[in-house]
Every structure is written in C-alpha cells, then in structure tokens.
Amino acid sequence: MSIMLTGSVKERRHASTMNIDRLSTLDMLKVIHQDDALISAAITPCLHTIARVVDIAAATLSHGGRLVIVGAGPSGCVAQQVADEYAPGKTPVMAVTAQEGEGSYERGVADLQAIKFGEHDMMLAVSVSGKTPWVWGAMRHAWSLGSPVAIITGDAQSEAAQLASMVIAPELGADVVAGYLNTKAGIAQKMILSMIATGLAVRTGRVYSNLRVDLEASNTKWAERQIAIVMEAGGCTRAEAKAALESSNHNCKTAILMVLTGLDAWKAHELLAQNNGFIRVALQEAP
C-alpha cells in the first residue's frame, strides 16, 4: 500500500535534511541541533510584540484582572504548565484548555463564560495553526468584550490571528523530519511562553535582582527554598533567614526586606504594601 504525502506536508519538507536517514547518529543529531538553534533567531523579530504582551499583561494584573492562556491539544498542555509554574495555587495567571472539545466553537465560548472571563481580563491564545474551532471561539468571546487578545501561532494570517491585536508568529521554516506534530512550533511556543511568564514575574514584583521571591512554604521543599532565597538575597545566615521567615508568617518578600533593612515584620510588610510588593522600590523608601 502506498501512502502519499499531502501537498501541505510536501511543502513543509526541509530541503537540507532529505538524506538524514543516511547519516551516522552523531551527524544526524548535529543536524537536528543546528536546526533547533535557528528557532531562537526566528523569535528575535517578535521581541517587540512579546514585550507589548508582557507590559499589557502586567497592567492587567495590576488592575485586578487575569491573564488567561488558552490552547488545545499539545498547545493546551504547554499553556497549563506555564500557568502552574507561574503562580502555584493562585489565579492571576491561569490556563483554560479545550480538553476534548477542541472541535467546538461553542464550547470555546462556554468555557470562557464558565470562568467569568471579563473585559478587564487578558487572553493569550496558543495555536500552531490558528484554525482550531475551540480556540477561535474562546478568542472571539474575549474579542467581543473588548479585552486585550494576543496569540502565539505559526500562521499570522489564520482566522484566530485576525482576532488578536498582538500576533506573535515566528517564521520557523520546515521541521527536520516532516510528519511529526510541528516540533519546531512546539519548541518555539515553550520558549515564548517562558519569556512572557518570566518577564511578567519581573514586572509584577515577583522577582528581586534575579531571584524569585514569591515562594510560598506549601511543603518542606518549598520551605527550604524560601530559606535559601532569603539567605541569598539578604546575605544572611540560615538562622537569621529562618527567624525572619517565622516572624513574617513565612512571607518570603517581607523576610528579605526585614533582613536588608532591620525593620520588624509589621513595618516591613507595610512598606512592601505601600510599594506594590516591589522589594527594590521598598528599599529606596526604607528609613
């Protein structure tokens, strides 16, 4: 039985890897590695748009809104992972995924209505093709409310992209091997979402210097990480870090400010609150 490639798959064949099946394992991996290195370069022209997404998302969160990341299939899995890593147990950044309804436009609308998505929230859609009905429905709902809408996609001319005011569509070229589920696109999605999540964490005061300071002591592992972060940020001993955390009800940012300024927990907490939780700004205002 002969299985013919469709025209679209033929168009996606990589002209430089036609003989990849004849290479040694090492040479094959070199080809793959060299091609993967081009993904980062392809994202470079998108940086201005990515920056705009981060700034608007930060403004959305500062006004009490949410960043809702939507996606179906593998894109939905990436969206969920990024949201979970950004703020475990919290909801300023959340993912809504298609589950089994990715073929339903109406389900996309209903799933957004179920979380009471409103005009003060922001949507970031993740869709390689930009043609998934569920994603299109969710975006259409957000668009109809006048909410900020952004999309990470492989097709800047897709139906979904037309509903976004911010389109991140790196030109990635063909995959090394045609027929897999958009390997390059998946890698690019993860890289871009990671940039957005990290940038948003910095812009919302969850980072001091280059340390994550929004950690919660939800278990022993995270409690130990809190101690390590306070020690590193404050240049103090383990005993000093533990004491500051205990007196601040294990609030990592408050403990760091206490160590750096000598303030007690109440005054450090108040100073942080007055400066929207930004440690660096609070330090400038410290007596």
Measured distance CA(107)–CA(115) in Å, rounded: 13
**H/E stretch holding 122:** strand 122-127
Residue 38 pairs in a beta bridge with none
Residue in the block written with tokens 């609150």: 273
Helix orientation angle between 133-144 and 105-114, rounded to the nearest 10 degrees: 50
End-to-end CA distance of the chain: 80
- What is the b/e burial string over 169-193, where b = at least 16 CB atoms within 10 angstroms of the residue's CB? bbebebbbebeeebbbbbebbebbb
Measured distance CA(216)–CA(201) in Å, rounded: 15
Q: What is the DSSP letter of 4?
A: P
Residue 125 dihedral angles phi and psi, to the nearest 5°: -90, 145
Measured distance CA(28)–CA(123) in Å, rounded: 39
Residue 126 pairs in a beta bridge with 71, 152
Active site residues: 85, 102
DSSP, collapsed to helix, strand or coil, labels residue 67 as strand
